[in-house]
């Protein structure tokens, strides 16, 4: 199997891969406690699942029903995105629909149904300089004239997890601190290369990682997956930045659709999901699916 084929199999984000697995529940609990300033000590009390590239989790109640008081929705971003409140609103709609169906709740009932409280977090480690913590609001997307009239608000907590930032959080979650070191080491390796080779930078960072790091053995065991995911993530981020620099606007000028198709094809080949490609390029899902079929024909 070629390296390109291997990379296409890994569609998760590395942060989710590390913290969203059954075998790493103790790390998941550390992250949960660090973010929520809580002191839970039973990793089995966590229930988590994934939605697209998002990790969401809650705490089971004392009777172990699939009900939680807090719905934590976590996403990792390597490119600064001020539209996260809108994206999180869309995620929440899907999550609440699933929650209502799973618990057989009736939203048309005359009785008030109880829902878990959403806690929306973005872990950011891109190049744009931001504060350790920033609150993004849906109302920032509204015009000043009508902002105060809105009946809806969504707040997202953006946490800077670049190496050297959010020290209190890192101290409370050692695996996150080690993850931050690892990504920084990759970036240092890339900066020292004459030609960009992400896989080589990842391998060098893995080799340089101290053996006593909690995440060391896990990353080494899943070395191929780690290389594949990060190759996809870094290339996807690079393509997105190029897309932005080339000046695509919502108004779509002449020729932009062809450029969007080209960007979509490159993202799909790097392992991006059809939904994320549609969202990033503005192309309809039908067009994205047609591009996927074109890629499949090329491979054959």
Question: Cβ neighbours of residue 42 under 8 Å, at least 6 residues apart?
Answer: 29
Question: Quick one: pLDDT at residue 248?
Answer: 47
23, 10, 11: which is closest to 175 by C-alpha? 23
pTM of the entire structure?
0.76
β partners of residue 46: 59
Alpha helices of the chain — where are they, by DSSP H?
3-9, 14-19, 25-36, 84-102, 167-172, 174-191, 198-208, 216-221, 223-245, 256-269, 274-281, 285-299
What is the torsion angle, in degrees rounded to the nearest 10, for the CA atoms of residue 263, residue 264, residue 266 and residue 268? Answer: 160
Question: Quick one: pLDDT at residue 213?
Answer: 98
| DSSP structural state of residue 211 | T
CB atoms near residue 300 (< 10 Å)? 5
**41, two tokens:** 């000590």
**Terminus-to-terminus CA distance in the chain, angstroms?**
14
**250, two tokens:** 């919502």
Distance CA(118)–CA(120), nearest Å, equals 6
**263, two tokens:** 């960007």
Residue 51's φ and ψ, nearest 5 degrees, are -130, 110
Residues 76-132: tens digit of each pLDDT: 888 888 999 998 998 888 888 888 998 899 999 999 998 888 889 999 998 889 999
Contacts 24+ apart (CB under 8 A), 130-133: 130/80, 130/158, 130/160, 131/160, 132/159, 132/160, 132/165, 132/166, 133/157, 133/158, 133/159, 133/160, 133/166
Question: Quick one: pLDDT at residue 221?
Answer: 96
**270, two tokens:** 């790097």
Residues (pLDDT < 50) of the chain are 1-11, 60-68, 248-255
């Amino acid at each position: 199997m070629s390296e390109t084929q291997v990379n296409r199999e890994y569609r998760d984000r590395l942060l989710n891969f590390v913290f969203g697995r059954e075998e790493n529940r103790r790390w998941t609990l550390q992250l949960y406690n660090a973010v929520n300033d809580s002191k839970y000590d039973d990793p089995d009390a966590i229930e988590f699942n994934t939605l697209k590239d998002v990790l969401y989790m809650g705490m089971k109640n004392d009777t172990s029903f699939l009900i939680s008081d807090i719905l934590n929705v976590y996403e990792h971003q390597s490119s600064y995105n001020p539209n996260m409140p809108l994206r999180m609103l869309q995620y929440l709609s899907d999550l609440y629909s699933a929650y209502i169906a799973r618990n057989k709740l009736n939203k048309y009932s005359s009785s008030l149904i109880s829902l878990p409280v959403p806690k929306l977090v973005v872990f950011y480690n891109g190049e744009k300089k931001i504060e350790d913590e920033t609150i993004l609001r849906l109302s920032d997307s509204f015009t000043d004239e009508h902002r105060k009239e809105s009946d809806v608000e969504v707040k997202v907590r953006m946490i800077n997890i670049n190496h050297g930032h959010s020290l209190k959080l890192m101290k409370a979650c050692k695996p996150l601190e080690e993850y931050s070191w690892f990504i920084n080491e990759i970036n240092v390796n890339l900066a020292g290369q004459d030609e960009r080779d992400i896989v080589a930078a990842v391998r060098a960072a893995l080799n340089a990682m101290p053996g006593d790091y909690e995440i060391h053995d896990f990353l080494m065991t899943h070395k191929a997956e780690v290389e594949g995911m990060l190759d996809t993530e870094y290339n996807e981020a690079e393509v997105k930045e190029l897309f932005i620099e080339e000046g695509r606007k919502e108004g779509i000028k002449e020729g932009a659709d062809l450029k969007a198709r080209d960007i979509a094809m490159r993202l799909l080949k790097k392992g991006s999901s059809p939904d994320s490609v549609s969202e990033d390029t503005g192309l309809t899902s039908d067009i994205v699916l047609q591009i996927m079929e074109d890629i499949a024909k090329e491979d054959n």
